[in-house]
């Protein structure tokens, strides 16, 4: 007697699975997509400061970092010289370690993907620039390295300096 009862319950439970494709010729509603900015045009300046509180009453998971960076030394491959290169780094973090960023200097603004772990920022360009790749590392004490790798001609430019929270 238990077997027919179990079979009936199993059949009733499976009915929604069989009914999923009830209208195979019916058109699906159009998918909604957000229009994303072109590469290099991340709107980080338009993001308001984070002021929410975590559900447990603690600090929010997401953070925003705005840093001013100054690089005293510039090295083209193995040749180094003094430099006054400066720029601004903005990072918006989700609190789980993943972040989006923006580097702005007097000549350009580029979008970066970043990882923020224990106060260390490791950011890189998305590779949308043909023949260039950027890597920016900022340690918790502010020491920083910013490197551009080029393919034509093949070379690397490394800036050595520091970043601090912008005032």
Does residue 50 register a pLDDT over 70?
no
Q: What is the DSSP secondary structure assignment for residue 25, as one 8-state letter?
A: T
pLDDT at 52: 45
Alpha-carbon separation of residue 25 from 15, 17, 19, 32, 101 (angstroms): 20, 18, 14, 21, 45
Task: Report the CATH number of the 44-165 domain.
Answer: 2.40.160
pLDDT at 59 over 80: no
Overall residue count recorded for the chain in this entry: 167
Split at pLDDT 50, 70, 90, the class of 161 is very high
Q: Could you give the CA distance from residue 50 to residue 37 in angstroms, rounded to a whole number?
A: 22
What pLDDT score does 32 carry? 67
pLDDT in tens, 66-116: 999 999 999 998 899 999 999 999 988 876 667 888 999 998 898 898 888
Query: What are the boundaries of each domain within the chain?
Result: 44-165
pLDDT over 90 at 38, yes or no? no
- 17 by DSSP, 3-state: which? helix
Q: For residues 86 and 104, what is the distance between their CA atoms, to the nearest angstrom?
A: 9
| Residue 50: DSSP 8-state | P
The answer to whether 133 and 146 are in contact (CB under 8 A) is no
Stretch 139-150: mean pLDDT:
94
Binned at pLDDT 50, 70 and 90, residue 9 comes out as low
Confirm if 87 and 104 have CB atoms less than 8 A apart.
yes
Look at residue 24 and tell me whether its pLDDT is greater than 50.
Answer: yes
């Amino acid at each position: 007697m238990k077997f027919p009862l179990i079979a009936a319950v199993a059949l009733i439970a499976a009915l929604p699975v069989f009914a999923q494709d009830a209208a195979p010729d019916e058109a699906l509603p159009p998918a909604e997509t957000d229009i994303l900015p072109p590469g290099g045009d991340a709107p980080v300046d338009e993001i308001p400061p984070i002021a929410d509180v975590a559900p447990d009453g603690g600090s929010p998971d997401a953070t925003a970092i705005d840093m001013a960076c100054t690089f005293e030394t510039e090295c083209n491959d193995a040749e180094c010289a003094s430099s006054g290169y400066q720029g601004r780094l903005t990072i918006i973090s989700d609190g789980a370690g993943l972040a989006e960023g923006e580097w702005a200097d007097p000549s350009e603004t580029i979008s970066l993907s970043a990882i923020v772990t224990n106060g260390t920022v490791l950011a890189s360009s998305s590779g949308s620039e043909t023949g260039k790749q950027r890597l920016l590392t900022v340690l918790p004490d502010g020491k920083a390295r910013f490197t551009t790798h080029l393919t034509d001609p093949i070379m690397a430019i490394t800036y050595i300096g520091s970043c601090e929270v912008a005032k």
